[in-house]
Structure 1
Amino acid sequence: MEFLQQNWHWATLAAVTGGWLLIDTVRAKADKTLLSAVEATMLINREDAVVIDVREQAEFAQGHIPNARHIPFSELESRKNELEKLRGLPLILCCASGARSGNAIATLKKAGFEKLFNLRGGIFEWEKAGQPLSRGSKNKDKEKGKKK
Structure 2
Amino acid sequence: MTTPPHASTVDVPALRELLESADGPRLIDVRTPGEFETGHIPGSYNVPLDLLREHRAELRAHLDEQVVLVCRSGQRADQASRALASAGLPNLRVLSGGIGAWQAAGEPVAAGRARWDLERQVRLVAGSIVLGSVLASTVVPRAKWVAAGIGGGLTFAALSNTCAMGMVLAKLPYNRGPKSDMSAVLDALAADRP
Q: TM-score, normalised by structure 2?
A: 0.52
Q: Does 1:121 align with 2:97?
A: yes
Q: Which runs of 4+ in 1 moved over 4 A?
A: none
Whole-Å separation in 2 of the counterparts to 1:119 and 1:86:
17
1:58-110 Cα shifts (integer Å, max 9, x gaps): 110110000100000011122321342221x1100000000000110011110
CA RMSD of the aligned region, Å? 2.0
Q: Which structure's CA Rg is the greater one?
A: 1
Residue 41 of structure 1 and its aligned partner are, at CA, apart by 1.6
In 2, Cα distance between equivalents of 1:48 and 1:131: 16
1:109 aligns with 2:91: no
TM-score by length of 1: 0.67
The one-character-per-residue Cα deviations of 1:15-49 (angstroms, maximum 9, x if unpaired) are xxxxxxxxxxxxxxxx8711111111212222320
> Which residue of structure 2 lines up, in the alignment, with residue 54 of structure 1?
30
Count of paired positions: 108
Distance of 2:76 and 2:55 partners within structure 1: 16
1:115 deviates by 0.4
Structure 2 distance, partners of 1:53, 1:33, is 16
Q: Residue 71 of structure 1 contacts residue 79 of structure 1 at CA under 8 Å; is this kept in 2?
A: no
Match of 2:63 among 86, 101, 108: 86
The unaligned stretches of length 5 or more in structure 2 are: 1-5, 113-176, 180-194
Q: Structure 1 unaligned runs (5+)?
A: 1-30, 140-148
The equivalent position to 2:13 in structure 1, one of 35, 38, 54, is 38
